[in-house]
Amino acid sequence: MEVTLISHTLEPESVVAAAARLSTSSVSATQLKERLSPQRVQRLLDNLIAAGHLSPFEHASFTFAIDGISRVTSHQLVRHRLASYTQQSQRYVSLGQLEYVTPHSIARRSDWEARYREAIEGVHRLYCDMMEAGIPGEDARYILPNAVETRLVMTMNARELMHAASLRLCLRAQWEIVQLFENIKIEVRKVAPRIGDELKPKCFHMGYCDEAECCGLMPKLDGKGAVR
């Protein structure tokens, strides 16, 4: 898996801070942005997050090149609808050489890893045979497994990134999408460290766990709404 931040709002944290200040200011956002010191920007972001006033974060966006995730994970990722995606097409891109993801639970057991690899390679041979026989790629792809690697470009604003990370960095999320958002967090922190720090499981924000099954990292919320 490789995640690269290929574009982002220029000075994203200053833009968020200026947008927040604009609602109670008589001057333009341009002037506000020029006047805001780095320390003032950080204090404003802290206050916005503490107050739950997150709409200004929608003005900062981040675009990522994501390579080498499985179709399992890309299907989960695109459920976050407040984002833009462009994904490599299995209809137009011939998969003559198949790259695929092997879960750790399979890879660490040599007998099951061998059977897993054999099954995927067998399906790939059939796929290639169908392509050579003139079956359209858009039809031959029907047999490809969810393990097949894919590439995509994703653009998401900071508020939605915070929301998506709150769900996908939960220890009960599937391992591959947890790894994906850990890599996204690393990339965001390079250009917006305060926003990057806020990419964390929702229980860190709430102080408790509201999942049906709890990992034990935070106290559990019982059926009566009390933390225990």
CATH number at residue 53: 3.30.1360.170
Query: What is the pLDDT at residue 209?
Result: 86
Q: Structural domain tally of the chain?
A: 2
Indicate whether 173 belongs to any domain: yes
Tell me whether residue 168 is one of the annotated catalytic residues: yes
Query: What is the pLDDT at residue 227?
Result: 63
Indicate whether 222 belongs to any domain: no
The parent domain of residue 163 ranges over 6-85+149-206
Average pLDDT over residues 199-215: 87
In this prediction the pTM is: 0.92
- Regarding whether 97 and 79 lie in a shared domain, the answer is no
Taking only the tens place, the pLDDT of each residue in 36-88 is 999 999 999 999 999 999 999 999 999 999 999 999 999 999 999 999 999 99
Average pLDDT over residues 20-35: 88
Indicate whether 134 belongs to any domain: yes
Please say if the pLDDT value at position 226 is more than 60.
Answer: no
In the set 21, 141, 159, 168, the catalytic residue is 168
Indicate whether 221 belongs to any domain: no
More confident call, 26 vs 129: 129
- Regarding whether 78 and 154 lie in a shared domain, the answer is yes
- Regarding whether 134 and 80 lie in a shared domain, the answer is no
- Regarding whether 195 and 153 lie in a shared domain, the answer is yes
What is the SS3 assignment for the chain? CEEEEEEECCCHHHHHHHHHHHCCCCCCHHHHHHHCCHHHHHHHHHHHHHHCCCHHHHHCEEEEEEEEEEHHHHHHHCCCCCEEEEECCCCCCCCCCCCECCCHHHHCCHHHHHHHHHHHHHHHHHHHHHHHCCCCHHHHHHHCCCCEEEEEEEEEEHHHHHHHHHHHCCCCCCHHHHHHHHHHHHHHHHHCHHHHHCCCCHHHHHCCECCCCCCCCCCEECCCCCEC
Taking only the tens place, the pLDDT of each residue in 77-131 is 999 999 999 999 999 999 999 999 999 999 999 999 999 999 999 999 999 999 9
- Regarding whether 123 and 27 lie in a shared domain, the answer is no
Indicate whether 170 belongs to any domain: yes
- Regarding whether 121 and 15 lie in a shared domain, the answer is no
Query: What is the pLDDT at residue 70?
Result: 98
